[in-house]
Homo-oligomer: A and B are copies of this chain.
């Protein structure tokens, strides 16, 4: 199935990905990881939840860590352009029969909850509490100096279908991997905010969240984080990298939080605001799409992910990718 044509006139205007709710089993352990090690800033916390933002963000939070009995992902949040677009979005999801529930969320204005056709829990809103800028309070920078949330990456049991759905609500494919044998899309990167992606989908048992990514200033910040993690008891949480992705051209590192949720640290993709930007196609057989420099990813990276609250897992019909690392 070929990549769909970019949908330049979507039914409502999503500005960007906004936040993720991670359900975690030990708030103190999560705080040590996200705050003391990665360097995210606490914007609110109590016995049941911790809210975090990155250094250049003015919205209240990009991660909500919520105490739970088992690790999972509560929802993925997206910001729409204004109240009118929010209402259009609600009407659209309702019209698709996907269900719309208006919910109360701390620090967020009007907000509705729905799911994509494959069960991923989604939230849409247009106003979140705004906080004063801290990006020039350099004494607050710690860890990897995270600047902003960048994207979500998900396992999908039918990437062609996921791409078609997110394309229909205005996400545009910037790069994708095609399985030449079947003509199917193996993986795709889709954006709203002008970088390589706000969301990406990879073939696998889904829906699951593969990772949430944060943008940092330079590769040296990633090296600093590796040195810090390697000498503060987190060496086992380093999963893959550092390296350069062929796809997106990003310099990357993948790490796992204390519950196994995967975080990507990331810099150096490119601007994609041109409506006529041509998607870049990669062949599933080209190992440099994964790692430009050639070193393979570990098996865990291909196989493990975080489950979404209330979503039923479906295996992909496509055969697994050959894994060449241990």
- Across the interface, name the chain B residue whose C-beta is closest to A294: B235
Q: Are A223 and B244 in contact, with the CB atoms below 8 A?
A: yes
Work out how many copies of this chain go into the complex: 4
Q: Would you call A270 an interface residue if the criterion is a C-beta within 8 Å of the partner chain's C-beta atoms? A: yes
Please choose the segment from A38-46, A113-121, A133-141 that sits at the chain B interface, where 4 or more of its residues have CB less than 8 A away: A133-141
* Contact indicator per residue, chain A 118-150, by CB within 8 Å of chain B (1) or not (0): 000000000100100101111101000001100
Q: Are A130 and B194 in contact, with the CB atoms below 8 A?
A: no
Q: Are A273 and B16 in contact, with the CB atoms below 8 A?
A: yes
Give Cα distance in the complex from A231 to B249, angstroms.
Answer: 12
* Contact indicator per residue, chain A 218-249, by CB within 8 Å of chain B (1) or not (0): 11100110111111100110100010101001
Q: Are A249 and B292 in contact, with the CB atoms below 8 A?
A: no
Q: Would you call A293 an interface residue if the criterion is a C-beta within 8 Å of the partner chain's C-beta atoms? A: yes
Please choose the segment from A63-71, A275-283, A312-320 that sits at the chain B interface, where 4 or more of its residues have CB less than 8 A away: A275-283
- Chain B residues lying within 8 Å of A127, measured Cβ to Cβ, are 276
- With A325-B326, A326-B325 already in contact, the answer to whether A275 and B232 are too (CB < 8 A) is no
- Chain B residues lying within 8 Å of A271, measured Cβ to Cβ, are 56, 148, 193
- With A194-B193, A238-B295 already in contact, the answer to whether A268 and B217 are too (CB < 8 A) is yes
- With A59-B274, A194-B273 already in contact, the answer to whether A223 and B230 are too (CB < 8 A) is no
Interface centre among A16, A268, A271 (most CB of B within 10 A): A271
Give Cα distance in the complex from A294 to B231, angstroms.
Answer: 11
Give Cα distance in the complex from A193 to B271, angstroms.
Answer: 9
- Chain B residues lying within 8 Å of A280, measured Cβ to Cβ, are 133
Q: Are A238 and B193 in contact, with the CB atoms below 8 A?
A: no
* Contact indicator per residue, chain A 298-326, by CB within 8 Å of chain B (1) or not (0): 00000000000000000000000000111
Q: Are A275 and B81 in contact, with the CB atoms below 8 A?
A: yes
CB distance from A205 to the nearest CB of B (A): 25
- Chain B residues lying within 8 Å of A194, measured Cβ to Cβ, are 193-194, 273
